Amino acid sequence: TEKLSEGDFNVSLPFIGNDELGELSGSIQKLSNDLERLKTERNEFLASIAHELGTPLTYLIGYSKVAMRPGVDEKDRKHYLAIIAEESERMKELVKNLLDLAKMDENTFTVSKEYFMARPFLEEILRLVGPSFKLKKLRLELICDDEIKIYADPLRLEQIILNLLDNALKYSVEESVVTIKILNKGEKTAISVQDFGIGIPTREIEFIFEKLYRVEKSRSRTSGGSGIGLAIVKELVEAHDGSIEVESNLGNGSTFTIFI
C-alpha cells in the first residue's frame, strides 16, 4: 500500500454513469481511510518500539554512570552492573523478536512441516523449562497419549510452546500447576497450556495478540514482558494454517489452546 503514488491513479476510465462514479468515489475514500489508518498504526508501533528500547537505555546510561563514579562501593557497583546486564538482555531479546516479526510480515520465513511423536517432543521442552518452573515452585504436568502424532514444523512449534509456557510461568501464582494437554481433534491436534495465575480481564483478551500490547504495563514490566510473545505465537500458528483460542478469567488463570 505504501508504494502507491499519484501516478497509479492516472488511468483512463471508459464512460461511466453516476452510480459507478459514486461507487468509485466511495472506494477511493475507503482506500484513503485505510492508508490513513495504516499510517497511524505504523506510527503508534514505532512509538511503542522507541519507548520499549528507550526505557532500558535510560537504565543503562544511568547505572553505567554511577558505576564509574570514583570511590563507589564494590558491592553497589556489582549491583549496578547486574542491572545493566539484565536490561541489555531484555533489549537483545526485544530486538530479536522484532526481527522475527518483520520476517514473518514479509513472509521470508518458512515453515517445514513433518510428522513426529508428540510425547518425546513435549518431554524435551519440559526438560528445557523445568528449572525455571522449579524456581517458582510450579508443578508442570503433561497430559498426552503415547500414540499422538503432530504435523508441524518442530522448531516453530517449540517456539510457540516456549512462548506460551514463558507466559504461564510469568503470570502464575507461586506453588500452582501448569498443565500441557495434547488431544487429537479431527484433522488437527489441540495443544493447550493452562495456568492458574492472575488471568486476563475479558475486555483485554481481544488485544493481547497485538504487537507490543500488554495488560497493565507495570505488572508485565516487573515480570520482564515486552508484549511481543503472543504476536509471534499468533503469526507462527497462522503460518501453520492453525488457530489459537484463549479462555481466561481475572484471578482464575488462563488456557491458551492452539489447533495445528
Binding site for ligand ADP (CB under 6 A): 167-168, 170-171, 195, 197-200, 208, 213-215, 220, 225-231, 254
Please give the Cα distance from 190 to 203 (Å, whole number): 25
Please give the DSSP secondary-structure letter assigned to residue 190.
Answer: E
Query: In whole angstroms, how close is the CB of 78 to ligand ADP at the nearest point?
Result: 28
Query: In whole angstroms, how close is the CB of 82 to ligand ADP at the nearest point?
Result: 21
The smaller minimum CB distance to ligand ADP, of residues 56 and 227, is found at: 227
Query: In whole angstroms, how close is the CB of 110 to ligand ADP at the nearest point?
Result: 23
The smaller minimum CB distance to ligand ADP, of residues 254 and 257, is found at: 254
Residue nearest to ligand ADP (CB): 225
Amino acid residing at 145: D
The smaller minimum CB distance to ligand ADP, of residues 67 and 177, is found at: 177
Please give the Cα distance from 43 to 49 (Å, whole number): 10
Query: In whole angstroms, how close is the CB of 223 to ligand ADP at the nearest point?
Result: 7
Query: In whole angstroms, how close is the CB of 111 to ligand ADP at the nearest point?
Result: 20
The smaller minimum CB distance to ligand ADP, of residues 80 and 258, is found at: 258
Please give the Cα distance from 202 to 244 (Å, whole number): 16
Please give the Cα distance from 39 to 57 (Å, whole number): 27
Other Cβ atoms closer than 10 A to 122: 22
Please give the Cα distance from 183 to 144 (Å, whole number): 7
Of 206, 245, 208, nearest to 228 (Cα)?
208
The smaller minimum CB distance to ligand ADP, of residues 214 and 240, is found at: 214
